[in-house]
Amino acid sequence: MFAIIMLDYFGFTLLLFAGALAAGLLGALSGLGGGVVIVPLLTLVFHVDIHYAIGASLIAVIATSSGAASAFVKEGYSNIRIAMFLEMATTIGAIAGAFVAVYMSPSTIAIIFGCVLVYSAITARSEPKFPDNFKKSLFAERLKMNSHYPSISGPQSYSVYNIFGGFSLMTVAGMLSGLLGIGSGVIKVVAMDKVMKIPFKVSTATSNFMIGVTAAASAGIYLHRGYIDPAISMSVMLGALAGAVIGARYMVRFRVKMLRNIFSIIIFVLAIEMIYNGITHKLG
């Protein structure tokens, strides 16, 4: 009997690790941080209470950020100046979101999660457009945020636009991180890509650099509330970390259009699942 129990536990752990590995890989390539996949995976597939799923996801997001961010910084994709400036907004939002989340029902959180994912899936597929009269941000120039990133054809330069519009959205992104346990990478990528007109690969890499700090700000509140299970969090964290390191190494080989399509399709499917289960109260 003991052997059977241990075998089942080992199998469950391996499945968690494999799912988190895939989530970490996607998180590194898309800038989501893996949490956008881990929460639906734990709640829909493994039937984990959504509050515990969010707690495990936040721990995994911190690990994913640590694994992918170091590689992206080394390769020259992450823009550290942009990340440090925007983290002021996301950290404040994350703490506020975490306080609110512990008082919300799982079904409500699931529906909000799904709506965020639907919006992100729709907006992520299109390339940002630059009007003829679109002005560069003087504030970005003073803070030396304009930079370049590596590509197959050589370094590509870019400029940063609409700094304060991006800052405002990052506050919302931080609140969603604390509320949903997703590291807020979904909104961060969209904000940097669409509002600030930062190239998609730079947006995903900078998002990976930022999400760890955002997640850490709200993870402490979940830990205090008892919503972080070590057994679940450890397997998920190790898998997500391994996937993040692999994804960061192969980023340069992927085309931006392919990344956008992967980003959109996966999170759209997950969005429908989360909304359906939230409406039917299958998550509690």
The whole-number average pLDDT for the span 124-145 is 63
* pLDDT cut 90: percent of the chain above it: 0
The whole-number average pLDDT for the span 19-41 is 73
pTM for the full predicted model: 0.65
The whole-number average pLDDT for the span 134-159 is 77
pLDDT digits (tens, 9 = 90+) for 79-126: 888 888 888 888 888 788 877 777 777 678 778 777 877 876 776 665
List, in sequence order, every beta strand (DSSP E) within 118-264: 147-149, 156-158
User: Which candidate, 158, 168, 164, places its Cα nearest to that of 128?
Assistant: 158
The span from the CA of 267 to the CA of 271, in Å, is 6
Cβ(115)–Cβ(185) below 8 Å: no
CB burial of residue 34 (10 Å; 0-12, 13-18, 19+): buried
The whole-number average pLDDT for the span 166-176 is 82
Q: With cut-offs at 50, 70 and 90, classify the pLDDT of residue 130.
A: very low
CB burial of residue 248 (10 Å; 0-12, 13-18, 19+): buried
The whole-number average pLDDT for the span 37-48 is 81
User: Which candidate, 158, 246, 245, 162, places its Cα nearest to that of 202?
Assistant: 158
The whole-number average pLDDT for the span 26-49 is 74
pLDDT, the chain, mean: 75
Distance of CA 262 to the CA centre of its chain: 14
Cβ(91)–Cβ(264) below 8 Å: no
Residue 2 in this model has a pLDDT that exceeds 60: no
pLDDT, residue 80, reads 85
The span from the CA of 105 to the CA of 124, in Å, is 29
